[in-house]
């Protein structure tokens, strides 16, 4: 009976505990001045202070919940958090899905470039001149900066989206990017840490940071609105923002939204354009071609490297086999994401710069070569030793015997695992989005961030395209296996 009571009361108790806290979602990887760790390893930032102050006014305890920045609204839908508070810009599309609070900060877009780059002195300098290469401009993926740069310059610039602010600024410093567009709070916080960079031109495209909530949480939203209005009147918000060097005269405009929010454009902006469907398929289709190119270029290189490593480990002298074993274990024991970071972000520090696409090909090839090496080592080990000995007895050299007798037999054995790796490679290309390669998953995320109401349509389209890429590989592999079965061993 006691057990039954505990089970029945558990949801009630969990709900009661949730009501005692204000669970706010934020991504620490976004850095300052929003939420970040200070020198002592303690969390700080103007949104950290804002969350504590909001929760106190609501008679709750602020509880920070970590989440990836562009996935925070999904945590809100799941009920894992109560509010999204992490430098989220207001947009009509988001408003249609997750009603927002009144804005708590006014931001603009700031252009940042190298101080020694005379070719960029103001916003108009981003426009491509006749015969000149397009400017390479980095932005935070899914941000208002990305939308602004895309709408303002379109194909006149090469727009690259990244997951992190500091990585983007570092790429500008390393001359891999010509410039970056960032929200003004980011610019004011990070520019002192990058003395080689400076801000250019007047900040453009004003927007608002808001708190997103669930539609059913209207009472909570009303209390948050009242608390923000109170903070503007009594100077609390000014005090918090000034602590981080973020207060300016533009913030005084927030008071006018207390009784006029959201903007009238919300209703119009939420409606999808009639041609959105074909445009989505076009964008996803082009991104799928990038995925196919990454996979089809990487896999042959990975196989060639894998065969060489496998042969070296199985038949080479110890001074060759041992380093090759270390090569395989190192690559299998470290994440592909980390390997891509080393190739794309760290190699430029020693003067080796590789374009995004080819950095992706190199990273995927090297990573998968370790797995192919293990596949082929197993295949070589499955070929009876007598096959090699017989070839040597007939007068063949060792490596000719391997090439003409052993490897062809090993090939038959490893077709299933190699095919499985090739199919997996199509999906692993999604990691390349961290180095601004716009493949299929990266394009899905970009479209979802701008059109959250189309998640089902976008998800199904992306799944169909992935299936359309991987299933033919499986069919071709089976056909090749049947063809080999008809040949003498």
DSSP secondary structure string for all residues of 1-69: -HHHHHHHHHHHHHHHHHHTEEEEEE-GGG-TTTSEE-TTS-EE-HHHHHHHHHHHHTT-EEEEEE--G
User: How confident is the model at residue 456, as a pLDDT?
Assistant: 86
Q: Classify residue 115: in a domain, yes or no.
A: yes
User: How confident is the model at residue 1, as a pLDDT?
Assistant: 47
Residue 138 forms beta bridges with which residues?
160, 180
Domain-ending residue, one of 270, 296, 312: 270
Residues 230 and 190 in one domain: no
Confidence class for position 218, pLDDT limits 50, 70, 90: very high
Q: At 135, which CATH number?
A: 3.40.190.10
What is the per-residue pLDDT across 75-111, written as a single tens digit (0 to 9) for each?
999 999 999 999 999 999 999 999 999 999 999 999 9
The contacts of residue 411 (CB under 8 Å, 6+ apart) are: 379
**Model confidence, pTM:** 0.83
Residues 329 and 446 in one domain: yes
Q: Hunting for tokens 């469907």 — which residue is that?
A: 277
Residues 48 and 157 in one domain: no
Domain-ending residue, one of 171, 206, 241: 206
Token pair in block for residue 133: 């290469």
Q: Classify residue 154: in a domain, yes or no.
A: yes
* Tally of domains within the chain: 3
Residues 114 and 67 in one domain: no
Residues 334 and 429 in one domain: yes
Confidence class for position 486, pLDDT limits 50, 70, 90: low
Q: For residue 266, what are the domain limits?
A: 20-104+210-270
């Amino acid at each position: 009976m006691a057990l039954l009571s505990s089970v029945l009361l558990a949801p009630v108790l969990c709900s009661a505990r949730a009501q005692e806290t204000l669970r706010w979602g934020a991504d620490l990887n976004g850095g300052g001045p929003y939420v970040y760790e200070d020198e002592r390893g303690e969390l700080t930032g103007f949104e950290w202070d804002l969350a504590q102050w909001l929760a106190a006014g609501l008679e709750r305890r602020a509880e920070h919940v970590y989440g990836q920045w562009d996935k925070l609204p999904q945590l809100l839908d799941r009920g894992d958090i109560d509010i999204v508070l992490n430098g989220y810009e207001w947009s009509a599309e988001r408003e249609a899905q997750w009603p927002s609070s009144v804005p708590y900060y006014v931001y603009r877009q700031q252009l940042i470039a190298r101080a020694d780059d005379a070719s960029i002195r103001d916003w108009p300098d981003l426009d491509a001149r006749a015969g000149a290469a397009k400017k390479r401009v980095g932005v935070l993926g899914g941000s208002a900066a990305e939308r602004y740069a895309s709408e303002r310059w379109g194909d006149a610039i090469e727009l690259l989206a990244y997951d992190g602010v500091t990585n983007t600024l570092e790429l500008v410093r390393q001359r891999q990017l010509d410039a970056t567009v960032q929200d003004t709070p980011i610019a004011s916080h990070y520019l002192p840490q990058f003395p080689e960079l400076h801000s250019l031109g007047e900040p453009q495209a004003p927007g608002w940071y808001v708190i997103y909530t669930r539609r059913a949480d209207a009472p909570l939203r009303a209390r948050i609105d009242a608390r923000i209005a109170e903070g503007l009147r009594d100077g609390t918000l000014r005090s918090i923002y000034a602590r981080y060097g973020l207060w300016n005269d533009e913030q005084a405009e927030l008071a006018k939204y207390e009784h006029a929010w959201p903007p009238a454009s919300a209703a119009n902006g939420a409606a999808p354009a009639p041609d959105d469907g074909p445009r989505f398929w076009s964008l996803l289709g082009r991104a799928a071609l990038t995925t196919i190119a990454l996979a089809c270029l990487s896999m042959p290189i990975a196989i060639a490297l894998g065969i060489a490593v496998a042969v070296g480990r199985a038949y080479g002298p110890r001074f060759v086999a041992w380093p090759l074993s270390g090569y395989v274990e190192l690559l299998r024991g470290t994440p592909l994401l980390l390997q891509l970071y080393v190739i794309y972000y760290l190699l430029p520090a020693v003067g080796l710069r590789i374009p995004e696409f080819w950095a992706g090909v190199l990273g995927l090839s090297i990573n998968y070569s370790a797995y192919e090496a293990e596949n082929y080592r197993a295949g070589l080990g499955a070929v009876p030793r007598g096959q090699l000995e017989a070839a040597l007895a007939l007068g063949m050299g060792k490596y000719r015997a391997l090439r003409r007798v052993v490897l062809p037999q090993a090939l038959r054995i490893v077709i299933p695992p190699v095919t499985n790796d090739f199919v997996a490679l199509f999906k692993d290309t999604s990691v390349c989005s961290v180095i601004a390669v716009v493949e299929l998953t990266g394009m899905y995320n970009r479209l979802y961030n701008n059109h959250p109401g189309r998640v089902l349509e976008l998800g199904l389209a992306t799944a169909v395209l992935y299936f359309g890429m991987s299933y033919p590989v499986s069919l071709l592999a089976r056909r090749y296996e049947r063809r080999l079965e008809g040949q003498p061993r």
